[in-house]
Each structure stands twice: as C-alpha cells, then as structure tokens.
Chain A
Amino acid sequence: MHSILFIVFLPLLAAIVAGLGNKALGNVPAKVITTGALFISCALSWPIFLSFVAGSAEASVTPVLKWVQSGSMSFDWALRVDTLTAVMLVVITSVSALVHLYSWGYMDEEPDQPRFFAYLSLFTFAMLMLVTADNLVQMFFGWEGVGLASYLLIGFWFRKPSACSAAIKAFVVNRVGDLGFMLGIFGTWLVFQTTSIPEILHAAPSMAGSTIGFLGHRFDTMTVLCVLLFIGAMGKSAQLGLHTWLPDAMEGPTPVSALIHAATMVTAGVFMVCRLSPMFVVSPTAMGVVTFVGAATCFFAATVGTTQWDIKRVIAYSTCSQLGYMFFAAGSGAFGAAMFHLFTHAFFKALLFLGAGSVIHAMHHEQDMRYYGALRKEIPWTFWAMMAGTLAITGVGIVDVIGFAGFYSKDSILEAAYASGSEVGSFAFWCGITAALMTSFYSWRLVFLTFYGAPRWAASEHIQHAVHGEHEDADAEDGHDHDHSHELLDPHHGEGTAGYHPHESPLVMLVPLIVLSLGAIFAGFLFTHSFISEGEGEFWKGALVFNEHLLHAMHGVPGWVKWAPFTVMAVGFGTAWYAYLKNPRFPAAFVEQFGVVHRFVFNKWYFDELYNFLFVRPAFWLGKVFWKQGDVGIIDRFGPNGAAWVVAQGSRVAQKVQSGYLYSYALVMLIGLVVGISWVMVR
C-alpha cells in the first residue's frame, strides 16, 4: 500500500515546484505539473477505495518519519489508510483534480497562475495529511495546513481589501475553534497518555462515567474531551457561532470555493467527529451537543440562503446548512449516513459551485442573480450541469425506488434523526425537514433567477463594462459592493441584454462539470449499499461506530417520515416556481409585508455586527488602553522614567565631567563589577 506515499506527497512536490518556480517556470509547466500530480493521485486513490468497497482491503499504517518525542508524549508522521480514509481520499483527489483542470479555463486571464495552482496543490496535500492522520497531532497539522491554504486562496486577489479581510477572518475564526481542538488534544493525552487515534478509540469506552476537573469544576471526562474537540470541528466546518468566515470566504476564486469551501476542507469537522466516533458515543451529552449545533446550523443557514442575491453566497449558506445535516446525523449516531452525505455532497456541491463559476465566467464576473435571467439557451451545458446539481441537493427521488445522490443521503439522515428517538433527535428532525423545504426553495430560486425569465443583464455594471469594451477593470469578480442590497427585485427594472452575448465555457471547464454531474446523479445509487445499508458493517470495518439498532429503527420509521422529505421538496419547488416564474411580483410584496423578518434574515441574523461589537472593537480598544494607559501611563511613568528622572539629575553632573552618556554608564557598570568581584576575593 505504498501508493499512499505518492498520493499524499506528489501534490506537495508539485506545489513546491510550481510555487518556487513561479514566473521562471511559466504558466503552462506549472499547470501541467500540479494538475498532472493530482490526476496521478486521483488515479491511485480510486483502486484503494474500490478495494474497500469490494471488502478486500484491510486498514494499514505507513510510517514516514519520527516527529516528536517528549517524555511519555510522542507522535510520528504516518499515513493511515482505512475505509474512512479511503472515502476521503477519493473525494479529495477527484474533486481536486477536476478543480485543477477547471481552473485552466477559469483562471486563464489571471497573470499569477503558478501561485494559484501551487496553493491548490498545497491545500490538497494538507487535506490528505489530515485524513490519513494516525494521531491527533498530525490531524491538527493537516487541520492548520488546510487553514493556511484556505487563507492564501481566499486572499489570492490580495489587492482587494475585502479579500484580505475575508482571509484574515477565516484564519482567526478558525483559530478560535483550534483553541478547543488543542485543549481537546491536551486533555485526551492527559487522560489516555497517548495521541494515537486507534489507541484512544480502543480505550475510550472504559472511561465512561469517569470525571475530570476542568476550569475549577468537575465534569464527565468524555463530555469535556468531545466537546472541546467538537469546538474545533465547529470552526473548520462553519457551524453556528463560528460560521461567519464561510460566506466571506467567497471572496476567493470560484474554483477555490468549490474545492475548499464546499467539497473538502469544511467537511473536515464531520470527518473528525466520525473518525473519533467511538469517543463521542461514550458521552451522550456530547452527542446531544453535536446534534443540536448541527440542527441549529442547518436551519439557520437555510433561512439566510433564501434571501441572498449573490449566487456564490446562496451556495455558501447552502453548504453551511448541509454541513449541519452531516453533524446532526453524526450526533444521532448515524455516522455512516453522515459520511455518505459528505461523499455525495462533495460531488453535487462542487458541481454547483463550478457551475456557478461557469455562469459568472459567462456573465463577465457578474455574481448578482438580479442581473441574470434567461441564460438557459445561452449556456446550455452549464444549465444542465446546474440542473443535475440542483436535483441532487434538493433530494429528488422516489422512496424505495431510485433518486439523485442527495436523495439517498439526506433521507437517511432525516430517518436517523427521527429514529434516534431522543428529544434533541426530534428537534433535529424538524429542523432538517424545515431546512429541506428551504433548500428546495433557494436552489430552485437560484435556477429560475439565473436560467429562466427574461434577461436582466442591462443593469449590471460588469455587463456594461463588457459591452463598452472597458476591460481594464482589474478587480476580477469584484461583484458590486452589496450596498444596494435593500433594492428589491423589480422585474421591469434593467431588463434587456444590453447587446451582450454570454459564451459557454471552454471544454476544460465543461469536462469537470460533466464528470461531477455524473457523480451527482449516480453516486447515491451506486454506493448506498456500502455506506448506509446492511452492507455498512462490512464496509466500514470498525473505522467508525456502526449502530445496528439504529439501522433497524431507521427501516421501521413511519411512512410519513419517509415521504416527508419528498413532500417538502415538492412544496419548495412549487413556491419557488410561483414566486419567481409565475408571479414575479410576489417576493417584493412578501418582503414589504414582512420587512423586519426579511431584514433580520437578509443581514445574516446580524452575527457579524454582534461579533464586531463584542470582540473586534473591544480588542482594539483594549489594546490601546493597555498600551497607552498601562505600559506608558503606569509602568513606564512610575518605573524606569521615574528612576531615570533621578538618574538624569545625577547625569547632569556627569555630563560636565564627560561628554558622552554611554561611556559613563558602561563605566559605572564595570566599576560595579570590579567592586563586586574584589569584595568576593577579599572575603
């Protein structure tokens, strides 16, 4: 199984070559090297995954290098491959390879291409290190590594202030989560005296009922550890409270959003909870927390998604919401379903993002859906790809017969939440059902606004630029500032094409769309047996907790539970159809009627404003106070300056004796030394 070394380290090598070679290397060689490395990694990953699907492979660990040994604490670099890793391997390398390819077209006009591709490959390496980790610290290495790559890619267009701010925000908010992760690792080490994941998972059940002192109180040991680790997962996976960085991360180029902020990095938190599932199941409290946070996020993000105008932001909130599904699945004990949704979501969400990128590409960097419309005929390949993605995310399918990818995974999650039988489980179920309704609504809203109706391109500044040949607009994908956000969709305002002709994207962009479309259509049907059905036990082989009782309970849920997702999906579709095609005046009227609610939701529940008020501004204010009042005003004033005043009086005398200050002090010191030593000697 040494192919894993190539899978993981080829992207790193490619990143180093392309990054250091940069301009000297040239665009095309840099792109060939990085993309080539990723396709090789991808080609090597699929056989591993398929051998696990076939049940012929066993978990293995490939040691790489010693890392740290400090007393009884030690952890090494090693690559672990088991079923869970194999799933992640194909997700990461496939999406990454396709995104690399897609970027050939999307980033074609970009002057700084080697840097972009180097970052993408670096990200892939870090993500692979994360999922192959055999100990918690290497997982943390990958965790922070993807954070770095995400920071660099969000800030890729570093001349834009908004991109720089978004990059810093992403890193710092993630660090808040990492604080929990780090303390979680320390606590885990303290309790188990090891950071090796298999050893921890083996020992975890025996710690049930144990208590630990933490911050002056005593708590259940496993609850403390799991909640701390879960705080890390909340940061990386943008769960409610630590989600604020994800929508802003859309400042990065769209392929980045597809790879990092939809398919792979943001799912790291889900992966972590699944990887450590034997720990989490020991603490029902921690499982409840995971379920609750997941369910709340799923609901919250879906509400915001229904109101946004920026096509990427809609999909970003949708991602946030879908991650919530994965978490409450895990919290309900259906880890297989969580991983299955991660797997299918990677395909259809990457597809939606890349499709959105294709639309943006066609619309000359316009991202506001109010200036789209009627693009169905202009960019048909993109349209059909987006349709496949939308059908998958809304979970279209017929119960017990067949459906798109999201149908299998989302339905099983909702069934699991219902079947878990706990109060928080039914809370999650209802949040999930409501969110499914809104998912269907905002997804179809996106499709109708973009591809149907009459063209509304004339009002777009970007289109105006394009039409009037003003290409010097350096800030690609700038979007407008979103200050006209309260402006409502007026169907007759700015109608028309302004003489603009959108072009379908080049083949390098369409191929990834087609491949991912196939994934969005078939991934659920093909792999449902392995991930979540009776075959589950043999497939996972203990890589995560498989709860057979829950599986049986899921089969026994009432019929209405099975049909509920389908029903809300249809209602969401109908509402979107009515509001955006049948009666386009309806949204404006609705907003007028429910202005307060709309404002609250549209402004993302005012989280950013709240955090600015609570954390950002006080931090700067405190910094100034500690500096000016504390250091300068108190410590210096009464410390050295007070003493210096005394010395200065003396030095006026010294000044008369000698011209330089410095020599006199050196002299004073030397005399002091000499006196001291002489005293010792004569003693």
Chain B
Amino acid sequence: MYDFVVIGGGSGGLACAKEASQLGQKVAVLDFVKPSTQGTKWGLGGTCVNVGCIPKKLIHQAALLGHSIQDAKYYGWNIPSDITHSWESMCDNVQNYVRSLNWGHRVQLKDKNVEYINAVGTLVDKHTVKTVDGKGKERLLSTDNIVIAVGGRPRLPDIPGALQYSITSDDLFWMTKPPGKTLVVGASYIALECGGFLTGLGFDTTVMVRSILLRGFDQQMANHIGDYMSNNGTKFLRECIPTEIKKTSTGQYSVTYSDKNKNTHNDMFDTVLMAVGRNAVTGSVNLENIGVELDTTSKKVIGGYKNNSERSSIDNIYAIGDVLYNKPELTPVAIKAGKLLAQRLFNNQTQAMDYQNVPTTVFTPIEYGCVGLSEESAVEKFGEENLEIYHAFYKPLEYAMVTERDVSQCYIKLICERQSPHTVLGLHLLGPNAGEVIQGFSVAVRNGISYEGIINTVGIHPTCAEEIVKLNISKRSGLDPTVTGC
C-alpha cells in the first residue's frame, strides 16, 4: 500500500516524488524507457537529462566554443588553421556526464526513501497501478494518489521511410558516429537548436520548414533567428514537406520533398533528423478507460478540476509536466508544479503553480530569451493602441573587434502597457547569453515591474544586459533603434 505513486521519472516526477517522501509519504516512482525507433535507450531522469536540455546545451556550447576559437585570432591568440572537432569525443563526454546524472538521480531517490521501480505503469483502477518490468514481471501497487508524469516523445511524420531511416532528438545525442550532411525537418525550437549546433560544428545542415518558424513564439524574434542562421551557414528549405526517404546503396538517404507549388525535389543526406513535434505518451497508461479526461488530439491530461491546475477529472489522479494539457513544456515548470502539488497534498499548503510569465530560452546559435507575452499575444489581448513597445539593435562588445561576426540580429524588445503604470508585459532578447540575462529580468517581470522600473535601474557597463535598462526608442516613434556608442 502506497500513499503516492508517480508514473514517470523525469524532472517533474522525480521532484514530486522526493517532495512527497520528505513529507512522510510512502512513495514509488515508475520509470521505463521504451527504446527510440532507432533503438536508443537511456537511464533515469527523463527527457531533459538524457535527450533534451542537458545534452542539447552541452553541444550548443561545443558549437559556441568553435566560434570563440575563431574570434580568438582578433584577441591576439595564434590559432592553428587545422583545428578539428571530434563528434565522438564530444559525445563520449556528454554521455558520461548524462550517465553520472542518471546515477545521481538513483542515489537521491534512495537517500530520500523513494522506491524506484524500473517498469511501465498502467492504471487498473483509480487506486491500482500495474507495473510490468523489462522481463515481463508484473506487480500490483495500491495507492491513495497517482501522478501522471510520463512526458512526451518525438513524433514521426507518416511518410514512407521515416520510421526506418530517420532519427529524432531521442537518437542524435547518442549517435556514435558524426551525423554528416544532415536534413532537419521541422521549425520547432528543437529543430532550430539542432540545426544551429550541427552547423556550428561544421556539418552541412539544411532545415526544412513547412510554414513558420517557432510557432507560438514572437514572430519578429523567430524571423531574426532564421535570418541569423541563414546568414551563418544553415540552409533553409521554406514551405517544403518531405514525402519519402529511401536508403541508397552508398548508405546515404535520398529524401524526396515537395515545395509550395507541388513541385517535387530530391536531395541526398547522411542523416535525416525529424523534429516535427512531440506526442504525450499516455497511450500505455490506460487513463481514458478509468475516466481520466484527455484532450482528444494531443492525448494530454486535462487539468484544472476543482480549481487545481494539476488535478485530472478523477479526484486522486494528477498530472504534471509535458503531459499536462495547455501548459508550457519546460523542465523547471514541471519541477515547480510537482513540488507545489506535493506540498498542497501532504503539507496543508495552498500555493498553486503560476504558469504565467514563465521565462525560457531557445539555444539557437544566437540565443533567444523571453518572458511574458509575444508581441502578437499582447496586441491580441490589449490592442496595439494600448501598447508601447521599446526596442533596440545593439552590438555586443565581445564581437566589436571581430569583423566577421554578424551582429545584425542582436535585438531587444520590451512590450509595455501604454497606460500608466506602464507595466511590462513581455521582454525578448536575442544575443549572447540570453538565458542568463532573461532569468534575472524575469524576476522583475513576474513581480509586475513597470517600464520606469526597468529604465531607472543603473546598467552594468559594458554588458549586453545593460541595453535593456537603456531602452528608450519606441516602435511608435519610428526612430532608428540602433544603439551607437556607450
């Protein structure tokens, strides 16, 4: 008999399980990694640790370092011209680091007295979870409460060859040989990040985009990212969709695709990476049969019952993380929601998860950090006439002496209410270390900072972040937003 069974050992599930156990509950967490379509497997910790944020950021850093080596010439370093990069040694180190995190999670669960069960969990009824391990051994767990934290997995387009020949982000970070000439299909942040770092590592990379970049994100910023990437070596095929992948006798993949005029084209690639979206993996949990309401298209758990964002239509069943319908799919969101849920259930706390003003960063070669509303959402919600949008194109000092560095997309946009007190609705930053900069500003935005609150703050010179507190040109004024000098 358990108090609390968490299905899914990703960031959210683990945080929630540990918090509940610390509050004296008897807790089990179930995690079982079904191999990817290409057979890739990994350990405890979920997407972020194994096939998401962590390996992605490390490889992004590898690409940034390559750029820095080139910049270093301008700073007096004698750089040999024959510098090469080893995909194998990078991935070896990334994988060893990820494995150490897997182990660290297992140690923490033991330390916090959470039972880890390496098995798939299926609901038998609202208080019974059946577990099936890798050897087919079954167990029935009785529990008061259940948390669904099974997350999502990449989706493949339904075209001939995709299942057999394409890889996804589940496989990329665990590849043992370099990807070579790569086609990335998709325009999500995952597609652009992967396309960006592969270009940065020197691979011939093409991103195939069906319609717009970064759906749901501010489109002016998204298009700046596309421009930056195009100007810095990533090829784009716009308004194209793949129709078939075939393997050739040389081991390469022949990809057929059609453009907006329905004309058919073909090209050869060493690797085809699909990044067209992710599906919630609720399929094996048997949720609908016991009455948990799922969104019909996404198969995500609908929360919000009894005024509780994480509570499903069944009283004692909750959902957190990527599997919760209509909430941001971000590790820190899942962790915070999971901890708060445990505190409400087992410690008489009342604090709900605040899903508003969640900051995030897209780690494309030019990083994009944002918090709050996109310009499109702000216009829709408040009307253009009720907004004042400040913006600036700026030049990071670290690139000032590096003539080949392209800074034309280093840009900031601050969206404020036009009426006093000029509350900040959204902040968007393109440039180096955008994540580091936006994290701090997100504290202010979350706490209702006004435009004056931002610009009355003294900057730190010389930094990129100071350009935010110096913002003074509004879009409405039509003045040139290019920052010059100090």
**A and B found bound together:** no
